[in-house]
């Protein structure tokens, strides 16, 4: 943190602002915790633990919205979209729907994820309809 959030004084890695005497330890600890959870999210992504990665990046962003965390979140969403499309291509629609559910936790208002979710619903309904027709 370069400046005090209370008085905007320049800081030199101190927990007490030299100008207004504000205790900044909680703010500093929150930033460190956010960085820790971002690191965990990246680690989980690299080890293929997608759900844990989603939880960790969500926690990191809830503590502090950094540009790096937002970029990683967007990267993770793109990876999930690719996985969902691959599952859909292999007609594994329920697994695709589960992956989308996890992705929508990260960015619930994403247009891309909503469209993909709607398309998955369409395919699921179409498959159910075809199953009914084939059994008749």
pLDDT along the chain (136 residues), means of 10: 84 86 87 96 94 91 94 90 90 88 78 87 84 70
pTM for this one?
0.73
Q: Could you tell me where the beta strands, DSSP code E, fall in the chain? A: none
Count Cβ neighbours within 10 Å for each residue of 94-110 and write b for 16 or more, e otherwise. eebbebbebbbebbeeb
Dihedral-angle region of residue 86 (phi above 0 means left; psi in -120 to 50 means alpha; beta otherwise): alpha
Backbone angles phi, psi at 23, to 5 degrees: -80, 115
In the chain, the domains with their CATH numbers are 1-65 (no CATH), 76-136 (1.25.40)
pLDDT for residue 99: 84
pLDDT for residue 44: 96
């Amino acid at each position: 943190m370069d400046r005090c959030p209370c008085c905007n004084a320049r800081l030199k890695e101190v927990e007490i602002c030299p100008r207004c005497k504000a205790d900044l330890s909680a703010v500093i600890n929150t930033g460190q915790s956010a960085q820790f959870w971002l690191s965990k999210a990246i680690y989980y992504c690299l080890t293929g633990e997608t759900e844990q990665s989603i939880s960790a990046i969500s926690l990191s962003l809830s503590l502090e919205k950094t540009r790096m965390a937002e970029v990683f979140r967007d990267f993770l969403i793109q990876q999930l979209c690719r996985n969902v499309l691959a599952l859909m291509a292999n007609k594994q629609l329920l697994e695709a729907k589960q992956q989308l559910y996890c992705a929508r936790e990260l960015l619930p208002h994403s247009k891309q994820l909503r469209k993909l979710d709607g398309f998955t619903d369409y395919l699921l309904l179409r498959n159910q309809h075809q199953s009914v027709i084939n059994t008749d």
